Chains A and B, each alone.
Chain A
Amino acid sequence: MNKLNFLQPDKNNLNTYLYSGVILVALSIFIVFLNSFFNKDIISFLPGSISFFLPLILGFIGLHLIRIDYSGLKFLDTINKNINTNNFNAFLSLLIVFVVIKSLPPLLSWFIIDANIAGDSKDVCTGSGACWTYIKIWFNRFMYGMYPNAEQWRINLSFIALAFLGTIGFFATEKFKKYLTLYYVVVYPVIAFFFIFFFISGGPIFFDFSYGIIAAVISIIIGFFIPSKFKMYYFIIVPITLYILLKYVFFYEELIELGKLEALEWVETGAWGGLSLTFIVSFFCLIFCFPIGLFLSLGRRSDFPIIKYFSIGMIEFWRGVPLITVLFMSSVMFPMFLPEDMFIDKLVRVIIAISLFEAAYVAEVIRGGLQALPRGQYDAAKSLGMGYWKMHILVILPQALKLVIPGIANTFLALVKDTPLIFVVGLLEIVGMLNLAKTNPEWLGFAMEGYVFASVLFFIICYAMSKYSYNLEQKYKTER
């Protein structure tokens, strides 16, 4: 039997150290656990400050005793390596465990145990916890804003259709893979635009949309039989001709009336709201701000002074003003500069404003990536006879954009979380709806539940985006 030295635990007498250490740590956690979950202080007989610090001291000694290098026990080694490497880390680990144990009961009771979800009026919320009934009742408003209930299927259908069209790329066969970029960069945003602005908003404008769809479908079907040599011209000329024919020659509007088909009810953008508006605004701002930012970043490095200084001016201007003033100006000042009879929808103005604003940030992020590339890449591309655009599209941008994926994701996340600011122009996306709901006289006092709900939603959206960006990073990684 070796001599026990409690200041320097070693591998001999492993069990003695291990048991005493584990007992001490367990005891310390047990004390805190009892205290926080059952409100029982079993060491209250000790003087004030000692009883407060005792669990910490006990746990600290316990961790010290089990800190044995190369003990031969795999589990023990893992613990020691990860949370118990030295006294300071052991102390931090203990502190974190205690804070978690301490904060769990109040959180659990607020979120679940004392919360109410049954019923459909404020009266059921008698407990001291959260009132999820409030979220349940207002759920529809939080999702769709003031959009008429009977028409909400249009939003659902649009989002489902767009989600479907968005994931189609994953199922594309090898033959169509090369068109995917074109599809996602040009075709998909255009389709999305048509869906949102014609289908969701409806009204007389919807006719135009249906002409467009019919023209496109017909021309695509015929397109399969056209020799590829003429396809290019075909797809420019035929859809436009068909569209004009439908609109001015066949009087499709009258056809619809004849068939007793009713056009979709018009819903003004002011009535849109809730989470769906968050999605719409974020989506369009994302797809617009990226290309604008890309061109600004290239423009800033251009050799032509006009382009260069224009880009610098744009970037510095939009970066220099707060978003809230940009939004305010877009809604209040901007219409003053327009001719009397001209009207641009408020939502469109807001989307343009946010896009330009975020584009400035995207531009600087991308410029960082462009500058990180070695000059040799430019030289090599040039020496192979590539011009400016070929060099950038084929060689420079693929590498630069890959480098800045984390930065772009960062900007995009900030953009999504900036969308609630559109309340200043009277558009109520989810946080705006929350503010509206919490001031409803019948439902006063539930701001907390609303904000927690919104936080959870935003967290899910943003976490998904950040995960996706991380996946992209991994996907395009080719070891240097």
Chain B
Amino acid sequence: MSDKIIQITEMNKWFGDFQVLKNINLEVEKNKKIVVCGPSGSGKSTLIRCINRLEEHQQGSIIVDGNELTEDTKDIEKIRAEVGMVFQQFNLFPHLSILDNCTLAPIWVKKMPKKDAEDLALQHLEKVQIADQANKYPGQLSGGQQQRCAIARALCMEPKIMLFDEPTSALDPEMIKEVLDAMVNLAKAGMTMIVVTHEMGFAKEVADEVIFMDEGMIVERAETKEFFANPKSDRTKLFLSQIL
């Protein structure tokens, strides 16, 4: 078995008449950390939403951990259980406590006994340093705490891949750091990660590779140092000059 955990070939996607993703080819190896950056509307979020099929692609193939994503629903749920996702708007379940947010999927999807699920959840909450908030409701937490809880929730499913869809864009500058710290720790633990973000500091610190997207295409893909030191395309240079 190859250690390519995600393989996307010749993938195209349209929203109506508008083509959001054009001819995407992407391979991600196990334990690699990839940062996807680019201007808004460039299709970054759509790309990673395609990886766990929250969006359907129309052409080409996406293979996640040896399973191709198709219309077959049963398969999709199994794949989604292995792919954790963290959203820009946290999307915690407001009717459940922090602990229940984390144990819900392990108990009902993975059929884990409640006690084990709670232990696991507390362990992950401890890692992101909000174990003491476990019995509060999401509405009582700050944005940074909510996002860290969302990370813990995704981790409780013990996923093989973690997708981050602009995890810090909806946060105050002060809270960005606490979330990034949690993500750095996760990266150091060896998780395969695909992160859509504008935090170039984070990219420099943990990413193995950086992908730059514009207008639905992957414009440039390079090793992190290479990417920041001498970007090849003009579009990338322009983007970097504006963002750094």
Residues of A within 8 A of B (CB): 374, 376-377, 379-387, 390, 394-395, 398-399, 402, 476, 478-480
Contact = CB atoms under 8 A, between A and B. Distances in A.
B85 A383 contact: yes
A399 B137 CA distance: 14
B151 to A, nearest CB: 12
Nearest to B100: A394
B140 A386 contact: no
Given A479-B137, A479-B139, A390 B108 contact: yes
Contact of A395 (B54, B82, B93): B93
Contact of A385 (B78, B89, B90): B78
A480 B94 contact: yes
Interface of B: 49, 52, 54, 73, 77-78, 80-85, 87, 89-95, 104-105, 108-110, 137, 139-140, 150, 153-154, 157
Given A384-B81, A385-B78, A394 B108 contact: yes
A383 B84 contact: yes
A383 B54 contact: yes
Given A377-B93, A382-B80, A383-B54, A478 B137 contact: yes
Given A385-B78, A399-B93, 18 more contacts: A374-B89, A376-B87, A376-B89, A376-B90, A377-B91, A380-B150, A382-B54, A383-B52, A383-B83, A383-B84, A383-B154, A385-B105, A385-B110, A386-B77, A478-B94, A478-B139, A479-B137, A480-B139
Nearest to A385: B81
A382 B80 CA distance: 7
Contacts of B82: 385
A66 B108 CA distance: 66
A479 B104 CA distance: 20
Contacts of A379: 49, 54, 85, 87, 91
Of residues B49, B52, B54, B108, which shows the largest number of chain A Cβ atoms within 10 Å of its Cβ?
Answer: B108
Contacts of B93: 377, 380-381, 395, 399
Contacts of A476: 95
A380 B89 CA distance: 10
A479 B52 contact: no
A398 B109 contact: no
A380 B95 contact: no
21 contacts: A379-B87, A380-B87, A383-B85, A384-B105, A384-B157, A385-B110, A385-B157, A386-B105, A387-B73, A387-B77, A390-B108, A390-B109, A394-B104, A394-B108, A395-B104, A399-B95, A402-B95, A479-B137, A479-B139, A480-B94, A480-B139
A381 B139 CA distance: 18
Given A383-B84, A384-B157, A386-B105, A376 B140 contact: no
A382 B92 CA distance: 13
Contacts of B104: 384, 394-395
B184 to A, nearest CB: 22
Give the 6 A-B residue pairs with the shortest CB-CB distance, closest first. A385-B81, A380-B91, A384-B105, A376-B91, A383-B85, A479-B139
Contacts of B105: 384-386
Given A380-B92, A395-B93, A479-B137, A385 B80 contact: yes
A383 B157 CA distance: 10
Contacts of B89: 374, 376
Contact of B95 (A383, A384, A386, A398): A398
Of residues B82, B83, B95, B154, which shows the largest number of chain A Cβ atoms within 10 Å of its Cβ?
Answer: B95
A385 B83 CA distance: 9
A479 B136 CA distance: 10
A399 B153 CA distance: 19
B212 to A, nearest CB: 25
Contacts of B95: 398-399, 402, 476, 478
